[in-house]
Amino acid sequence: MHLILLKSRRLKKADYALTHGAYQKAYKLASPLVNSGNLEIAFQANRICGLAMYKRKKYKESLDFLEKTCHLRNYRHDWYNLAMALVFSSELKRAEEAFINIYRTSVQPGYMYATPVPGLLFQYMKALKQKQFVDAAKHRANELKQMYAGVGKDITKQIQRGLPAYPAFQKEIDSLFMI
């Protein structure tokens, strides 16, 4: 039991370092725990290591950690992180496969500030556009257009559904469809 407490304390320090921008320290603290026999510790350690590498723009290095995170627990934001890392690693097919899981999964219990699916979709579309995956970005833009059409022009309803601000969306798609 004492050993698990030490590991949990180490993960708390790593999480603190991650959330305060000390990505290398977070990685150093969490990396010895990624293969822990305790699934919760392994999950947290892989998530921290994956996000630390992602935040340092070492996308390819983050992939193994993020994939393991997704398979240890099946949460929406972890699939999103994996999909984004895959886009920035120029692995479109795998990114699309990972992104689809966002629709099939739920938010981790206790996760207070989870971004709604339309917000994740908007950020994913922007990343696709940035990496010049224009057809995939257009596909996701059309998906968002359908969401706006379904909700209508009522801004209150758009906000309730988690849709991004329409002017920001329009700015992105105007430039996307002019490419």
Q: What is the pLDDT of residues 9-55, one digit of tens each?
A: 999 999 999 999 999 999 999 999 999 999 999 999 999 999 999 99
Task: Please give the Cα distance from 66 to 5 (Å, whole number).
Answer: 24
Cα separation of 20 and 37, whole Å?
A: 28
Name the band, by pLDDT with cuts 50, 70 and 90, for residue 80: very high
Question: What pLDDT, on a 0 to 100 scale, did the predictor assign at position 101?
Answer: 95
pLDDT tens per residue across span 120-147: 999 999 999 999 999 999 999 999 999 9
- In the structure, what pLDDT confidence band is assigned to residue 2 with cuts at 50, 70 and 90? very low
Give the contacts of 144 (CB within 8 A, at least 6 positions apart): 118, 121, 122, 125, 163, 164, 169, 173
